[in-house]
Amino acid sequence: MKNTWKVLNDITQRKKKIVCREFLIGDKKIVDNQEICNAFNNLFVNTGPSLAKNIELYPGKDSSSFLGKGIVHSIFLNPITEN
């Protein structure tokens, strides 16, 4: 497992420190670290709702109308252990 993470870190160049020195929102350049963090946070927090607003809804239909018939008498669970 350790070697797997080493390979992934080498490929992604994770050991290199990447620093964002400025953040551009519209025409406003932000250079304060706390403001940059808040701007990134707002971006990530609002991305989902912004995308959701653009999804076309079908009035009078719920999600089950788009799904096929389920298999009522069948279930499969992978074997597990306490660990």
Q: Where are the beta strands (DSSP E) in 12-57?
A: 23-25, 28-30
Each residue's pLDDT tens digit, 24-81: 888 888 888 888 888 889 888 999 888 888 887 777 777 777 777 777 777 778 888 8
21 DSSP assignment: -
For residue 21, pLDDT over 90 is answered with no
SS (H, E, C) the chain: CHHHHHHHHHHHCCCCCCCCCCEEECCEEECCHHHHHHHHHHHHHHHHHHHHHCCCCCCCCCHHHHCCCCCCCCCCCCCCCCC
Residue 45, pLDDT score: 93
Mean pLDDT computed over 8-12: 77
Domain boundaries of the chain, sorted by first residue: 19-56
Reported confidence tier of residue 14, pLDDT bands at 50, 70, 90: low
